[in-house]
Structure 1
Amino acid sequence: MEDLQKYSEETFESIKHINEYGQEYWFARELQEVLEYTQWRRFEETIDRAKIACEKSGNEVSDHFADVGKMVPIGSGAEREINDIMLSRYACYLIVQNGDPRKEVIAVGQTYFAVKTRQQELAENYDQLTEDQKRLAIRNEIKTHNKSLAAAAQMAGVKTPLEYAVFQNYGYMGLYGGLKAKDIKQRKGLKDGQDILDHMGSTELAANLFRATQTDEKLRREHIQGKATAYQTHYYVGRKVRQTIRELGGTMPEDLPTPEKSVKQIAKEQEKKKLK
């Protein structure tokens, strides 16, 4: 995890700009390069999906995506103007959420911007966040995205609570090498009624966040229909996330340690601190 955090800082903070009012922003052309998109046209498609997500979330698109022109050299001292976009941190977050899941850097960027967007009021720098704060941030993101995932699954044909439980299990089986939710709960030594997501560290939570958001996008983007196909889609995405973890040399999620405190306990402690 430390290597990924370092990579996040070097990758995304290094291209951050600050205007005269102290506001941070990113240029889309620079983010395109970092996210390993070779064609601007392909990256624009991702930006367009991010704009739609921004609008659907009730935000003003122009507040987060500002079209600008930029002069670039073309040789012999000449320059030409190209289109670019000034992006807020939230815009960057939406872009990586809608990015190509086959790119390892997308997984890193998704976790980074999720934590930074949610927890900016807690600490200015990502490295200053404690493990508990990271867990809270990512867990809150999962809650938000699971609602969207449930809606996408329903549109695909997953109608009843039982069918949704099966759908969720397929995602877990893909990510956890065949383990279902009850198997994960057993490995963690949890009791009935305890949510496995509340008993994950930040690394494990980040993997599940990536699984949820990318399944949501795939169901919607490809207009998946039929609960059986939806089940397989969730399994496929979970398996791809697992493959990415393996290629990065990471620890498989089922082998990660279970924290002593649950996310609910951490949240209660945070609330008590605010009251003091």
Structure 2
Amino acid sequence: MKTEVIKSLTNNFEDHSQNTENGIEFWFARDIQHLLGYSEWRNFNKVILKAKTSCEASGNSISDHFVDVNKMVPIGSGTDREIDDIMLTRYACYLVAQNGDPRKEEIAFAQNYFAIQTRKFEVIAKRIDDWERLNARQKLTLSEKELSELIYEKTGNDKNFGIIRSKGDQALFGGKNTNQMKKTLGIPDNRPLADFLPTIIIKAKDFATEITVYNTKGKGLASESAISSEHVKNNKGVRKLLLERDIVPENVPPEEDIRKLERRVNSETNNLSKNPDKLS
């Protein structure tokens, strides 16, 4: 397929994409019909029915990707008439293309266009998840550093932080302290537990730590036992909230080593810096 044709088809498909009030991207089936080279709606509707069958077979809800609508279209002399149409998500468009006539140049293009667009969405979603986990871990590091400095200031013992944090972990993880959780999750002894925790649990630890910092200052707590009691209480409170939402902290599986994740994200960022044309 010639480059000029690819550019023209790309522009056509992108020009016809729209967004709902909730920001969900969609295409009208009547527009896709013509973009894919189908002159008659009844013939194109057969392709849509096949696409719906494929959607259901893949375990997805048809109503999530194919939404029936009615709209008014001009028919001349200043009059309009109502016609049936369908709002198609990106995935629905992909399925329609997959069930179309592959001999059509437009179909061949659409099959690849929507496959790549869907993959782009998945990559972006994964990148955002990675970014959120990295930021959550960095935030926890800062709140634990603040608590560590506060404990040393109040107790004069730099070992008390490790003791208090482990007691907090024991409260959060249903009786398992930091070292026990490392063994459970297969984490090396010389690595922080939080480096392998998923975002939700990292944020849970951070929230409990922030409350401990706040109350240690506000209540004037000045001993290891008092701060420990406060930290245990806060972690138990966070655990209770998680359990109410069907999240059992000690049963949530570990995730990728945060160091590897950080290297990968930084590498991708550096590659874009060195090759800015990839952003175009």
TM-score by length of 2: 0.50
Alpha-carbon contact 2:197-2:254 (below 8 Å) kept: yes
Give 4+ residue runs of structure 1 displaced > 4 Å after superposition.
126-129
* 1:153 pairs with 2:151: yes
- Match for residue 90 of structure 1? none
Partner of 2:240: 243
Separation (CA, whole Å) in 1 of partners of 2:260 and 2:126: 21
- CA offset at residue 155 of structure 1? 3.2
Which of 235, 257, 264 is 1:262 aligned to? 257
Number of residues of Structure 1 aligned to a counterpart in Structure 2: 149
Aligned match for 1:179, one of 176, 179, 187: 176
Q: 1:273 matched to which residue of 2?
A: 268
CA shift for structure 1 position 149: 1.1
CA contact (8 A) 1:188 1:258 kept: yes
CA distance in 1, matches of 2:203, 2:246: 12
Alignment of 1:1-276 (within 5 A): 130-157=128-155, 159-247=156-244, 249-259=245-255, 261-276=256-271
Alpha carbons of structure 1 residues 133 and 183: separation in structure 2 relative to 1, 3 Å: same
For residues 209 and 125 of structure 2, what CA distance do their matches in structure 1 show? 25
Q: Structure 1: where are the runs of 5+ without partners?
A: 1-125
Paired AA for residue 133 in structure 2: R
- Matching residue of 1:35: none
Deviations 1:106-146 (A, max 9, x none): xxxxxxxxxxxxxxxxxxxx978632111101001111111
CA RMSD of aligned residues (A): 2.1
Q: Distance in 2 between matches of 1:195 and 1:217?
A: 23
Bigger radius of gyration among the two: 2
In the alignment, the residues of structure 1 paired with residue 232 and residue 224 of structure 2 have an alpha-carbon distance, to the nearest angstrom, of 12
1:180 Cα deviation from its structure 2 partner: 0.8
Matched residue SS, 2:190: coil
Percent sequence identity is 16
Give the Cα separation in 2 of the matches to 1:154 and 1:250. 36
TM-score by length of 1: 0.51
The residue matched to 2:159 in structure 1 has which SS?
helix
